[in-house]
Structure 1
Amino acid sequence: MNLRRYWAILPLTFAALLSGCMTDSTGTTYSSSEARRIQQVSFGTVSELQYVTLEGTEGAVGTVAGAAIGGIAGSSVGGGRGSDIAAILGGVAGGVLGSRAEKQLTTQQGIEMTIRLDSGKYISVVQEVDPKVPLQVGDSVKILTQGNTTRVVRMR
């Protein structure tokens, strides 16, 4: 078995698996289950913006992919029982590192918006930054609420 070939494709496979886990939580993205549902609508003006960090996920994909890569790497060390032990240790270490890598790769830039509603009440909403629709203080916005999900979109 030629392990060098696997070493070349494993990091790419790992990155591809993790990118499939990333979700878009901007104000203009909906899941298919949110379509065709009534939303409560409010209007307001952005009074303050602050950039925040949206923590990434620590799911099974990073752990499993890291464990697989670590196990393969460890199995190539030594021979016999030493190789088996190295494969197990490599799998454990790879799982831990894979979980951390997943969290790092899925961390996103968010924005906390303080909004003065037309009613005079203030609210705050955090969502992922949407570079296609940047918000600024003073922008008129529409606040859409559906169950526990609220999103803010700039009025055009």
Structure 2
Amino acid sequence: MKYISGCAALVLGSVLLAGCAGPSLTGTTYSRSEARQVHYVRYGVVDSVTPVVIEGRTDGAVGTGAGAIVGGIAGSNIGGGSGRAVGAVIGAVAGGVLGNKIEASATRKQGQEITVRLDNGETLSLVQEVDGGKFFRPGERVRLLESAGATRVAY
């Protein structure tokens, strides 16, 4: 029983770590589909920066699915006969809920709300992930890059 529970925890941890490696939301990371695409550029100066938290994923099937599998396996080792089936179901449900919460926590990111006064006088605010612990600072000259409805702030 201890061996199976230990293996189940190892499998859950591995699957969650692999599944939680989602796309970065920094200003310097591009998806494959963004490469070789035109980005409209505007220039401005950072007016203010506010630290924010970007919520973790709760729509992913990885955490829920992995948790349910591991919970079901662990739960099926409890009791005997029909008790094993009940244990498997309860373990799967509890594991799914726990796996979902672990995935949400593991994918939560430190973000920054950046307010930029553009050269044309317009003021924009957007949120993006903090890149390497480095926040933008008021007074810095930046570029806003826009493509396909997504905008990022970059130097």
Distance 1:4 1:101, change over 3 A: closer
TM-aligned CA deviation for residue 16 of structure 1? 2.3
Which runs of 4 or more aligned residues in structure 1 lie more than 4 Å from their structure 2 counterparts after TM superposition? none
Evaluate the alpha carbon distance shift between residue 10 and residue 43 of structure 1 in structure 2; reply closer, same or farther with a 3 A threshold: same
Rate the CA distance shift 1:97–1:29 in 2: closer, same or farther, 3 A: same
Shift of 1:105: 0.9
Whether the 8 Å CA contact 1:18–1:105 is kept in 2: the answer is no
2:46–2:115 CA contact under 8 A, matched in 1: yes
1:18 equivalent to 2:24? Answer no
Give the structure 1 partner of residue 146 of structure 2.
Answer: 145
Q: Is the 8 A contact 2:76 2:85 kept in 1?
A: yes
C-alpha displacement at 1:101, in angstroms?
A: 1.2
| Aligned-partner SS, 1:44 | strand
Residue pairs, 1:36-75, within 5 angstroms: 36-58=36-58, 59-75=60-76
- What 5-or-longer segments of structure 2 have no aligned partner? none
Structure 2 residue 100 is matched with structure 1 residue 130: no
In the TM superposition, residue 128 of structure 1 has moved relative to its aligned partner by 0.4
* Secondary structure of the corresponding residue to residue 125 of structure 2: strand
Q: How many residues align?
A: 153
How many angstroms apart in 2 are the aligned matches of 1:52 and 1:31?
Answer: 23
Q: Distance in 2 between matches of 1:4 and 1:128?
A: 36
SS of equivalent residue, structure 2 residue 62: helix
CA distance in 2, matches of 1:105, 1:4: 22
Deviation at residue 134 of structure 1 after TM alignment: 3.5
- Cα distance per residue 1:101-131 (max 9 Å; x no partner): 1111111111000100011111101100112
The gaps in structure 1 that reach 5 residues or longer are: none
The CA distance in 1 between the partners of 2:8 and 2:62, in whole Å, is 18
Separation in structure 2 between the aligned mates of residue 62 and residue 4 of structure 1, nearest angstrom: 17
Percentage of matched positions with identical amino acids = 44
RMSD, aligned CA: 1.7
**Conserved 8 A contact 1:111-1:129:** yes
TM-score by length of 2: 0.91
The equivalent of 2:94 in structure 1 is: 93
